[in-house]
Amino acid sequence: MNSFKIFITFLLLAIAISSCQKVIEFNGEITQPIVTVNSLLTPDSVVSAQVSLSRFFLSNDTVYNMIANAQTNLFVNGALKETLSYKSNGVYVGTYKPVSGDSLSFQIKIPGKNDVTCATSMKSTPVIASIDTNTVSTGKKTPILYNRIIDATHMELDTIGYGYEHKMSCALHFTDDGIARNYYRLVVTTKTTMGTKKTYSYSFNFDDIVSGNTNNSIGPPTSLVSNKYNIFNNELFLGKPYALQFSVLYNKNSFLPAYTKNPNTQEVSINLQRVSRSYFLYLKTRAGIKTNTFFAEPVQVYTNIEGGIGIMGSYTNSIVKFTL
C-alpha cells in the first residue's frame, strides 16, 4: 500500500510536471496581521505570554513582528493580579505562580489594535499512586561509535562499546477525580548524562488503549495512528482508578575497557500532566498539521484567543523520577 501511495504521488507529480504551472495573483482578501498570543501556564513557573503578529502567507518576511509595547494584564479569579513586564522577543513575564483552581485570563492592549482576551483555568494536580515496572532485554545490540582523530586530515570510526537494548514496561496507577471530562498528557523524559554532557530523549511507546495509537506495520499506512503529544482523556475511566500502560526503550551501555573513564547515567522522568481543554484541543489539532494535504483535509489549529489567534493553556504536573 505504501508503494501504491508512492506511485500515486509520483503519478500526480509526473502529471503536474508535464502539465502546466503558472503563477497567479491571490484573488482573495489580503488579511491584515492578527495578534498572536501564546501562553502555557503551570504552577511550577511564573506566568508568561508571548505576543506577536501573524504574517500574510505570501509575505516574504523571514521574521515575525514581536510586540514589545503591549499592556498584558493578568486576572486571577476575575480580579486584576498584575501587569506583566516585557522582557524580549515578545515575551511578557509576571511574578505570580498559578495554583490549582485558579481562573486565569489575560487582557492585552496593543496601541492601534483591538483588545485581545483569553482565559484558562488551572486544574488540580493528578496524583500518581504508584508505578509498576518490568524491564527485559530485547536482545538488540548496537555498537557505540566514536570518531577518533588520527591526524589533521584523517579520522577513524572506532567502536568503543555496545548498547544493549532494554524495554521497561510501565503501569502508572492514578485515579481520575472527574465527574466530567478531564484531559491528560503523559511526558516521559530519559536524561542521559555522560560527563558534563546531558542529552534528553522524549520518545516512548504509548500503547495504552486511551492513546488511540495503533501499531500495525503491515497494514496500509493510514491505519497507523500516532498520538504525537501523548494526550488522552478520561472517557474510559471517568472518576475511576486507572493503570496507564506504556514502555520505554533504552540502551544499557557497556564500554570497552579503554573507554570506561566517563560512565554514563540515565534517569527517567515520568510526568503525568492534567491539561486544560484548550491546551488539549490545541495539541490535538497542532499534531495534525501536514505539509502535504492532497490526501487529507487541512487542519484548523485550535485557538481560544478572543480577537486574535494562538493558545492560552494550562497544565499541572505529577512527576516520578528514577535512575535506570
Partner 1 sequence: MKKFILIYFFLFILHTLTYSQNFTISGHITDAKNGETIINATIFDNNSHKGCVSNTYGYYSITLPKGKANLIYSYVGYKQLNRDFRLKKDTVVNLQMSEATELTEVTVYANRKDFGVQGSQMSAIDVPIAQIKSVPTLFGETDVLKALQLLPGVKAGTEGSAGFFVRGGGPDENLIMLDGVPVYNVNHMFGFFSVFNADAIKNVTLYKGSFPARFGGRLSSVVDISMNDGNNHAYHGNVTVGLISSKINVEGPIINDKTTFNISARRTYADLLAQPLIQATLAKQPGMEKTTAGYYFYDFNAKLSHKFSDKDRLFLSVFTGNDVIYANIQQSSTISDFGTQKTWLKMDWNWGNILTALRWNHVISNKLFMNATAYYTRYDFLMGVGMANESTITTPPSTTNSTINLGFHSGIDDYAAKVDFDYAPNPNHDIKFGANYTYHTFRPGVTVAESTGGTTQPMDTTIGDVNIYSHEAVAYVEDNITLNDVLKANVGLHYSTFFVQGQFYQSLEPRFSMRYLINDKLSLKAGYASMSQYIHLLSNSNIDLPTDLWVPVTKRIEPMRSQQVSLGVFYNLLNMFDLSVESYFKNMDNLIEYKDGASFFGSSTGWEDKVNVGRGWAYGIEFLAQKTVGKTTGWIGYTWSKTERLFNRTGQELNNGLVFPAKYDRTHDLSVVVSHKFSDRFDVAATWVYSTGNAGTLALQNYVGPVIPGTSNSQKGLFPTQYIGNMPYISARNNFRYEPTHRLDVGVNFHKQLKHGKRTWNVSLYNAYNQLNPFLTTVKTNSVLDPNTGTYSQVKQLTQISLFPIIPSVSYTYKF
Note whether 8 binds partner 1 by CB under 8 A: yes
Subset of 85-114 contacting partner 1 (CB under 8 A): 88-91
Min CB(256)–partner 1 separation in Å: 27
- Using the contact rule CB under 8 A, the part of the chain among 46-54, 76-84, 98-106, 124-132 near partner 1 is 46-54
| Burial grade of 271 (CB within 10 A; 0-12, 13-18, 19 or more) | middle
Q: Count the residues in the chain.
A: 324
- Give the nearer residue to partner 1 in terms of CB position, either 187 or 243: 187
- Using the contact rule CB under 8 A, the part of the chain among 100-108, 149-157, 214-222, 247-255 near partner 1 is 214-222
- Give the nearer residue to partner 1 in terms of CB position, either 15 or 149: 15
Cell 492578527: give the residue.
34
Note whether 10 binds partner 1 by CB under 8 A: no
- Using the contact rule CB under 8 A, the part of the chain among 77-85, 111-119, 221-229, 248-256 near partner 1 is 221-229
Consecutive H or E run containing 321: strand 309-323
Q: Are 233 and 280 in contact (CB under 8 A)?
A: yes
Note whether 289 binds partner 1 by CB under 8 A: yes
- For the chain, the C-alpha Rg in angstroms (whole number) is 24
CA nearest neighbour of 266 among 200, 187, 168, 169: 200
Note whether 271 binds partner 1 by CB under 8 A: yes
Note whether 128 binds partner 1 by CB under 8 A: no
- Give the nearer residue to partner 1 in terms of CB position, either 160 or 299: 299
Note whether 27 binds partner 1 by CB under 8 A: yes
Min CB(54)–partner 1 separation in Å: 4
Calpha distance 55→61 (Å, rounded): 8
Distant-in-sequence, close-in-space partners of 21: CB < 8 Å, separation ≥ 6: none
266: its cell numbers = 540515565
